[in-house]
Amino acid sequence: MNIDPATGWCQQAQHCPSPNFNERPEAEISLLVIHNISLPPGQFNTGRVQQFFQNQLDTSAHPFFGAIAELRVSAHFLIERDGAVTQFVSCLQRAWHAGVSSFEGRETCNDFSIGIELEGTDFEPFTDAQYLALAQLTRQLQARYPAITPSRICGHSDIAPVRKTDPGPHFDWARYRASVAANEGEQ
């Protein structure tokens, strides 16, 4: 995977542009935030996450969708259960993934972070394909944005601990970090 420095788009990802973004302030991209999402909750491969991030979700299709009908959110990337990567927002733009948040005393993490959603829940493990794709994408993001060091990779729960629990207790941080570190030299 390669991140185009001029556009901020990953050339190997499926592109599914979201309207839910705005310009970043002049700030170095220095944080990677890992999330989880499934729509409806606990159901996978529905295409609903993509619809949600594009403001095209049919809110009458499931009772849960009414609760999120007015939300306007996005992430830079989604990694599906099979490892497929979709990009919604250029890395050069501010995706709306973190909400009210703080990292090391600095608020509004959307200003300086990249958000990656893993298709999943807090209640079950992620797939081998997701860990592989996440490690590959992480290495490319670190190559393009060197301020994203291992200590500046966190979960949504770390930057919004009262509000959020993702990526959840089934996310294997040790496995993920080892996978990223084992192939640091690969491009």
| E strands in 29-119 | 31-37, 77-79, 85-87, 93-95, 102-103, 106-107, 113-119
Distances (CA, A) of 80 to 86, 93, 133, 158, 162: 8, 22, 9, 22, 26
26 is catalytic: no
Q: Amino acid identity, residue 170?
A: H
Which is it for strands 93-95 and 21-23: parallel, antiparallel or unpaired? antiparallel
Q: Select which of 70, 80, 117, 124 is catalytic.
A: 117
Query: Annotated catalytic sites, by residue?
Result: 117
